[in-house]
Amino acid sequence: MVNLELLITALVTALACSLPGTYLVLRKTSLMSDAITHSVLPGIVIGYVLSGSVLGMGPWLGAMVFAMIAVVLVEGLTKTGRIKHDASIGLVFPFLFALGVILATLFAENIHLDTDAILLGELAYIPLDRISLGWWSFPKSLVQMSSVLIVNLSLAALFFKELEITTFDPTYATASRIPARIFHYGLMLVMSLTAVAAFDAVGSVLMVAYVVAPSATAMLLVHQLKPLFFLSFIIATVATFLGYLIAILTDTNIAASIAVMLGIIFFIALVLSPRWGILSLVLRKKSENFNFDLGMLLVHLSHHLGSQTESIECHCDHLAEHMGWPETHAQKVIIEAKKRNYINVEAKFLILNDQGKEAAKKIMLGLWDL
C-alpha cells in the first residue's frame, strides 16, 4: 500500500518548505507565505499559456514575477501609510489569486490545473507525471522538489551568518554593510521558488502549514537557530510519516492529512512545551498565586503580632473569613507554612516563629522571591 515515491515527495516538499519558513516565522511575517503561495497562481497560468509546455521555464518565471509583484505591492501599500500591513496583505493576495482563478478557468484547455487542484494540490497523482534521468524515471514533482530543497539548503548554509544577522537585527546588519533589503527580497524570491515547485503537490493553502508550522512548533521548544532548523526538520519528517499513515488508513487526502498532523503537533507543543507551554504557564501561575497567598498569611500574622485583636485575627478558624479564602484553601496555606517552618500552631493559634518574622519583613521590603 505504501507508495515510497509519494512518501518521499511529500517529505522533500515538507523539508523544502520549512527552510524559508523558519526565517519567515522568525521575522514575524509568516503571513507573507500565505500571500506568496496565493499570488504565484496568475504567474503560473500565464507562464503555462505563453510557453505552452508544462516542462518549460514559463510557469517558474511567471510565478516568481508575480510573487515579487505581490511582495512589492504589499510593502509599497504599507509604506504609503494609507492602509496597515495586514490590510494590504488582505487586499493584494485575494486580488491576484482571484485573477489567477479566472485566468485558469479561461485557459482551462491549455493547462492541466483544475480549480480544486489549485487549492489542494494532487499529491496522489504525482507518480503519474514522470521524467527520466539516465536509466531511472522519477516523478517530475520529486525531481523539482529535490532541486529546490538542495538550492534552499545551500543558500541557507552559504548565507547563514548574513541571514541570521538580518533576521535578528536588521539595523546592525545595515551598519555592518550587509544589505538587509537584498536578503529580504532574496528570501521572498526563494519562498516563491519553493511555492511554484510545491504547487502541484500541495496547492496554495495547505502549503502555508508546511511553511509555517514546523518552525513555529520548534520555536516553542528551542531557542537557538541551528537547533531550530534541526528540530523543524524532525517535526516535518514526523508529521509527514504520521500524516501519510493516517491518510492511507482512513482513505483521505494525503497532503491535507500531513497538514493536519503539522497542526496537531503544533498544538501538542503549545500545550506541553516546558518553557512556553500553556500547561507550564498555568502551573507556574498557580504556584505563584499560592506563594503569594502564603506571603499574605505571613504578613497578616506579623501585622497582628502582639496586638489586642491577636486572639481573633490569628485564630485558625477565622482565617478564611479575614483573608477571604475558601476554608480548604486556608487549610492548604497553613499546612504549607508549617511545612516551610514559618509558623507554629498552638491550640489552633497561629504564631510566627523567628524564621517567619524574618520572611514577613522581607516580603514587606519587596525582597521575597515568590
Partner 1 sequence: MFEELFSLWSNPTFQNILFSTTILGAGTGALGCFIFLRKESLLGDTMSHSALPGVVLAFLLTLQRDMLWLALGAFVFSLAGALIINYVIRRTRVDQDAAQAIILSSFFALGVQLLSWVQNNVTANKAGLTHYLFGQAGALTHSDLILIIVVMSLIGVVLILFWNRWVLISFDSLFGKSIGIKTWLWESLLMGIVVLSIVIGISVVGVVLMSALLVAPSAASRQWVQTPKGMILLAAVFGGISGFLGTTISLAQPQIPTGPSIVVTLSFFSLLSLLLSPQRGILARWMLERTFQNSFAQQRMLRNMGRLGELHHDLFVKHKKTTLLTMDDQTQGPHQALEALRLRGLVTRTKENFYALTQKGVDTLKQGNKNGQP
Report the DSSP beta bridge partners of residue 311.
none
Counting contacts by CB under 8 A, is residue 259 touching partner 1?
Answer: yes
Residue type (1 letter), 144: Q
262 binds partner 1 (CB under 8 A): yes
Q: Would you say 319 and 349 are in contact if contact means Cβ atoms under 8 Å apart?
A: no
Q: Which of the stretches 86-94, 125-133, 297-305, 322-330 binds partner 1 when contact is defined by CB under 8 A?
A: 86-94
| Shortest spacing between CB 36 and partner 1, in angstroms | 12
Q: Which residue has the cell 500541495?
A: 202
Single out the segment in contact with partner 1 by CB under 8 A; choices: 49-57, 156-164, 204-212, 320-328. 204-212
**CA 152 → CA 3, 149, 219, 320, distances in Å?**
26, 5, 20, 63
Q: Residue 152: CB partners within 8 Å, gap ≥ 6?
A: 16, 19, 20, 190, 194
Residue 222 sits at φ, ψ, to 5 deg, of -125, 165
| Among residues 3, 5, 8, 31, the one that binds partner 1 under rule CB under 8 A | 31
Q: How far is CA 292 from the centre of its chain?
A: 34
Residue 99 or residue 155: which is nearer to partner 1 going by CB?
Answer: 99
Nearer to partner 1, 84 or 340 (CB): 84
Residue 80 contacts partner 1 per CB under 8 A: yes
183/162 Cα distance (integer angstroms): 8
β-strand 136-139 against 343-346: which pairing, if any?
unpaired
Stretch that binds partner 1, among 111-119, 180-188, 229-237, 335-343 (CB under 8 A): 111-119
**What does the alpha-carbon distance between residue 327 and residue 332 come to, in Å, rounded to a whole number?**
9
Tell me the closest approach of the beta carbon of residue 283 to partner 1, in angstroms.
13
In degrees and rounded to multiples of 5, residue 2 shows phi and psi of: -70, 120
Q: How many C-beta atoms surround the C-beta of residue 282 within 10 A? A: 11
* 34-63 residues near partner 1, rule: CB under 8 A: 34, 38
Question: Per CB under 8 A, does 317 bind partner 1?
Answer: no
What's the min distance (Å) between Cβ of 216 and partner 1?
Answer: 4
Task: Give yes or no for residue 110 binding partner 1 (CB under 8 A).
Answer: no
Residue 70: CB minimum distance to partner 1, A = 12
Q: What angle do CA 110, 112, 118 make, to 5 degrees?
A: 120
Which phi and psi angles does 293 have, rounded to 5°? Answer: -65, -40
Q: Whole-number minimum distance, CB 195 to partner 1, in Å?
A: 13
231 binds partner 1 (CB under 8 A): no
Residues at the site binding partner 1, with contacts judged by CB under 8 A: 25, 28-31, 33-34, 38, 77, 80, 82-84, 86-91, 94-95, 97-99, 101-102, 105-106, 108, 115-116, 119-120, 205-209, 211-213, 216, 219-220, 247, 250-253, 255-260, 262-264, 266, 270, 276-278, 281
